[in-house]
Structure formats: structure tokens, C-alpha cells
Amino acid sequence: MPRKTTKRLDQLPDMPNVFTPREMAARGGLAHCFDAQRPLVLELGCGRGETTVDMAAADPDRNYLGVDIKGARVHRGASAALERGVRNVAFLYSVVEQVALLACGEPIEEIWIRFPDPFPKPSKANRRLTSPRYLELYRRILAPGGRVHFKTDSETLFGYTLEVLDQEKARIHSIDENLADVAGSPAPLAIQSSYECKWRAEGRTIHYVCFSLK
């Protein structure tokens, strides 16, 4: 393991805005890891956390929780939040499945999923974050009418997602098969990670759908 990665992992336990599932459970759940109680938004598979921090900075009336299993990535997002003084954001260093165990009945207003691993092999379809088993997780933790926002540059994953949403009788609020220009969009949709900016510069097509499950 690279020395820089090891150093970041060693620092995680001392970061006030990073939690393991056990630490979060000891505090009482997802909503109790912030300095004030506000409506909660999740970003699953948040990677470096840059979009999680940017969304929180643009929306101080809600709390934002980024979830990722890669500790070195979580470290980067948490460090950026501390440096910028963004206090309504925290990170859960964990697999996504732990979220349902830690929700503790507290309604979540929105879920963001940006460019997850497409798991292209059919044998791994149940690992896709828009597979039926994950949609059932989202259904359990979202507030009534709560929305899921999904972005991907994988045409295959996007097509699969639309098929699953149809099977699950999800309500589609917005869909764009070529999200070409987000400059005039509301802040969360317009916010882009460095990877998305790079992919757009390469000419990749960005797909987007917003839906609710109940």
C-alpha cells in the first residue's frame, strides 16, 4: 500500500467528521453526527467527497453524508470540508449496506449516486447501486416522496437502471439521456466532480435520472 494512502488511513480515527458504522451507531444513527439537526441528504459511493462537500456548502440548511468504503478517498473529502469550514457534512467509512442499519427511522430527503461502478458482467448485476436489492434499501430509508438522483456515463448501466425502475414502478421525475449542459441547473445537479469534468472534456455522454420509490 502506498505510504500516502497508509498515512491517510491512520489519520481517519482522529478526524471529527469521519465515522465508522460502530461510531455512528454509538451516537444514535446517521442524523446524530452533525452539529445541528437538519434534513439529511446522502451521497452513496462518494469517492473523494468533493461533490458531497460542494453540495453541503451550497445548501447550509441540510446535512450531507458521504458514504464510501475507500478510506483514503473519504480522507480527502473530510479534509476539504475541515479546511473550508463546511460543518453540515460528514462521512461514513463503510459499505453502502450499513446505511439501512444506521438510519434509525430518520427520514432521508434525497440520495445522490454519481458514476458508480457499472459492474458490466451480468453475474454481478446485483452489485449495481440501482439493482432491485439496493432500490429496496432506498425505499426503506427515504422519506415519503424522497428522491434518488443518478448520474452515469455508462449507457449499459443507464439502460439497466431504467428497466429496473420500470419493473419497480418507480416514479420518474426527470430524465436526460444526454445531460450536455448543467450550467443553468440547480446547484446539486450543476455540481461536478473533477472526474465528470474530465469525462465531459473527452466527449463522454452523461446520463441522468431522478426518481422516487414511494
CB atoms under 10 Å from CB of 123, counted, come to 7
Q: Which helix (H) or strand (E) holds 151?
A: strand 142-152
* Distance between CA atoms of residues 17 and 75, nearest Å: 10
Q: How many residues does the chain have?
A: 214
What are the beta bridge partners of residue 147? 110, 212
In contact, 193 and 51? CB cutoff 8 Å: yes
Active site residue 117: yes
Report helix, strand or coil for 114. Answer: strand
Contact yes or no for 126/133 (Cβ under 8 A): yes
CA-wise closest residue to 44 among 131, 160, 167: 131
Distances (CA, A) of 88 to 66, 113, 139: 11, 19, 24
> Is the separation of the CB atoms in 181 and 210 below 8 Å?
no
Which of 10, 35, 117, 166 does the annotation list as catalytic? 117
Q: Which residues have a catalytic role annotated?
A: 117
